[in-house]
Amino acid sequence: MRHWTKIARRGRFPRRDEIDPYLIGEDGANCLLIAVEAPIELSHFVMVGVNLAVALCPNDTLAGVLLSRVPQVVSAHRGLIIEGGAKFGGVEILYRAALLPVSEDGETIDHVLGAANYRPLDAKEALRSTVIFQTHWV
């Protein structure tokens, strides 16, 4: 987040080669990269870190939740931080995630970088069928 923000403050979105070291390094286990396509519904995962790899589809999984928010990031032309609940490998979790635009030309969003951390709910907690998400724009 710090690296992305530093570049974005210069008035452009980071290029993929500027974020690739973070995807390969120790942070990469909690990151994913989504290719933005037209129409937006064809957007897809390019890379999913090992800690997120189990969660590769339905909208109640962590990766699925992040993929479902890509249209918001692209239309708002801004980064997004979301908090909420999801399922991960069949376990209910609470998470915090960032979705950050990436662009080869600095302006047109062609990828979205996602990073997430999470914790499983303990036995006394349970996800409600309607989880309230908190959204913060970057």
Instruction: Note the pLDDT of residue 20.
Output: 85
The burial of 9, by beta-carbon neighbours within 10 Å (0-12 exposed, 13-18 middle, 19 or more buried), is given as exposed
pLDDT, tens digit (0-9, with 9 covering 90-100), for 25-53? 888 889 999 999 999 999 999 998 888 76
pLDDT, tens digit (0-9, with 9 covering 90-100), for 72-113? 999 999 999 999 887 777 778 888 999 999 999 999 999 999
Q: In CATH, what class is 2-137?
A: alpha beta
| pLDDT for residue 131 is more than 70 | no
Instruction: Note the pLDDT of residue 45.
Output: 92
